Amino acid sequence: MTTAAIGIHPVAGALGAEVSDVDLARPLDEATVAALRQAWLEHLVLFFRDQALSPAQFLAFARRFGEPIEYPFVRGLDDYPEIIPVLKLEHERVNFGGVWHSDTAYLDVPPMASMLVAREIPPFGGDTLFANMYLAYETLSDGMKRMLDGLVAVNSSAKADASRTREDRMKDRAREAARDYVAAHPVVRRHPETGRRALYVNVAHTVRFDGMTEEESAPLLAFLFQHQIRPEFTCRFRWRPGSIAFWDNRCAQHHAINDYRGHRRLLHRVTLAGDTPKGP
């Protein structure tokens, strides 16, 4: 497979690109992987269509970009523990990941990236939104940037209980070792590969600023939570069976829309190991 055959098609002004003319079930050469990574760094999230990947092939594709790691709250597939099922059943009212967030910001070393492949999709609904945290930071006033550049945010897995995503409701029966996680990270994160600054707080996990109470932190956090998901910072992806989304957790947030009551939705997710967030 040659890199010349790959098409990169932006889907929105803020972020996101669909990749055409690539079969991820086949071995990818180094030049193709490099081209995909460059496109991923530029567009923050890549989308692929009509990829018939077995779990083993999906995991092999993920390994070309990083180290797959197990998720702390949800048990993976029996033969592939690094792959977790993202499932909402017909009778369930709350979905998995149905709140704006960066994956597991409550870990000391949050993941670099996540990948989803669609297995079963409802006849309508179930789209996923993505938002560009570079733009969220860059569009702030100079005064706000100066203030945020020196702040650290406290993130907790316990906060997600308020949103009651399926992901968090499963934790008690997923692993006996599951517990609440708390981690402090810079509010403004410098991307280790691009060098760009990104806003790194999210409504699902960020509790307060380090050195402040929750009450003192709440007004500024409320502003940031609304600002970072302005429509012009986002894109929307409609799933089909065999679709894949691959996003950069260091500079993008996502939100799974819960608008398909009475229908089943199943995707498989792989998470890639990251690095300790560094400030500006």
Which one has a higher pLDDT value, 261 or 95? Answer: 261
Task: Say which of 103, 166, 208, 265 is annotated catalytic.
Answer: 103
Task: Give pLDDT, residue 98.
Answer: 83
**Percent residues over pLDDT 70 in the chain:** 91
Q: Would you call 254 a catalytic residue per the annotation?
A: yes
pTM over 0.75: yes
Give residue-wise pLDDT tens across range 28-42: 999 999 999 999 999
Which listed residue (166, 205, 254, 255) is catalytic?
254
**Does the pLDDT at position 3 exceed 70?**
no
Asked if the model's pLDDT at residue 124 lies above 90, the reply is yes
The mean pLDDT of 100-112, rounded to a whole number, is 94
Mark whether 169 is an active-site residue.
Answer: no
- Please pick, among 43, 166, 255, 269, the residue that the annotation labels catalytic: 269
Tens digit of each residue's pLDDT (9 = 90 or more) over 48-82: 999 999 999 999 999 999 999 988 777 889 999 99
More confident residue, 5 or 88: 88
Q: Which of 43, 101, 255, 268 is catalytic?
A: 101
Is residue 237 predicted with pLDDT exceeding 80? yes
Instruction: Return mean pLDDT, the chain.
Output: 91
* pLDDT tens for each residue of 153-204: 999 988 765 444 444 445 444 444 446 899 999 999 999 999 999 999 999 9
The predicted pLDDT at position 11 comes to: 97
pLDDT of residue 31: 94
Give the pLDDT of residue 164. Answer: 46
Residue at token pair 């190991």: 273
The structural domains of the chain, ordered by start, are 3-272 (3.60.130.10)
Longest alpha-carbon distance in the chain: 55
pLDDT of res. 160: 63
The two three-digit tokens of residue 133, written as one number: 């945290």
**Per-residue confidence band for 93, with pLDDT thresholds at 50, 70 and 90:** confident
